[in-house]
Amino acid sequence: MERDTTVMTGYNYGELCDDLLVETLSRLPVKSLMRLRCVSRSWFSLVKDPKFICKHLTRGDHNRLMVYNEYFIDTYPVDDFVVVPDNTMTDLHFQNFEAAETRNYILLGPYEGIMCLSEKWNRNKINVWNISMNEYRILPEPPRPRNGVSGSRPSNTVIFCCNFAVGLDPISNDFKLVLIQTLHDERGISSINDCLPNVAVYNFSTNSWRHVEEGLFIMGCYLGDEAMNNVYHNGFCYWVATTETPCYYVAILSFSMSEEVFQEMRGPRVPTITELNGFEYWTIGLHDDYLSLLHVEESRRSFGLWMMKGGFWTKHLSFGPFIEWYHPDGFWRNGEFILESYGGAGDCRLVLYDSNHDEIREFGITGVWFSVRILKESLITVRE
């Protein structure tokens, strides 16, 4: 019997904004939504609406964990990208990101479902890739760091590292990519505090870059690398960093996607472990839709979860102590966290800790180094 579709196609756009319908559609995977765009013009418009795209990103129904894993085979370093299915830790499989077109690039992200590919030999050559939609875009070259009148990169400097973030400008309803390039003095004369940042914003709708005046923001004041934790939330991108001072403290760098300015706020006032790089003791994420920080407490065997509520950090929970030493690698679902064991000679392990049931589950992955990201299904189009 032929299916009656008059009910589905009879909506106008206003009716499509019905909360129940939008809520239902936001739970569907990207492939299904791509097919549903053909139902009507209204459905097509809804799936392309930036606010709906953001809602779909925050649903998390189809998120997966992406684990960057480095290990050794006969003293040779090997990098793998392991994708962990949503509901189980037993069906690990490898995602082939080393295709011919990406072999010469450093893969960073994903950020809101978008991978950023920076060319190894020319860090100004950047591409973006939406894995879920299988869309790829070669970006124009970002603006060079400003150096007086010339506008060229300061002499004797190289790009030390790059950091990215992707998010929605809630005023213009346009998705943007934020690029922070930290420059290093090749001669070794300048200290890290003299490193200059080149900050630029890319607009997806106009396919263009714009240089951002840093103001009081000086990247060299922070210890950073290309694995700096970051998260997008409600029109702001946040990075967690540790300052290079005699007394380390955790700084949260925020960037307004609409005003395009940086601000710094301090993390929770807790005893800080200074024996090792502070990055290993903090990770940033969202918990119950609040900006949150997970950190290792002084014993190195317990953790505290802090949430930003009403402009103040509030301790939400503590868990541990554990027999082993762990450091935090990332947030998963509410109350679940990815931890990495301290091991020697490539014997580090990843585990999933469920604070709701006080359970630890092994991933079954070992290596020398891990970086954990959430691979979101994203409707952000990068097609040229």
Q: In this predicted model, what pLDDT tens digit does every residue of 226-257 receive, in sequence order?
A: 666 789 999 999 988 766 554 556 778 889 99
What is residue 343's predicted lDDT score, i.e. its pLDDT?
64
Question: So what's the pLDDT on residue 175?
Answer: 95
- From residue 145, give the alpha-carbon distance in Å to each of 12, 202, 214: 48, 15, 11
Residues 114, 120, 124, 126: what is their CA dihedral angle, to the nearest 10 degrees? -20
Confidence at 318, pLDDT banded by 50, 70, 90: very high
> At 330, is the secondary structure helix, strand, or coil?
strand
Please indicate, yes or no, whether the overall pTM of this predicted structure exceeds 0.75: yes
Q: Are 282 and 295 in contact (CB under 8 A)?
A: yes
Q: Residues spanned by CATH 2.120.10.80 within the chain?
A: 54-375
144 vs 157: CA distance, rounded Å: 12
CATH superfamily ID and name for 54-375: Kelch-type beta propeller (2.120.10.80)
Q: Read off the tokens for 284.
A: 């940033």
pLDDT above 70: percentage of residues in the chain: 71
DSSP state of 220: G
What's the CA gap between 22 and 192, in Å, rounded? 48
* pLDDT at residue 303 tops 50: yes
**Two tokens, residue 310:** 């009403």
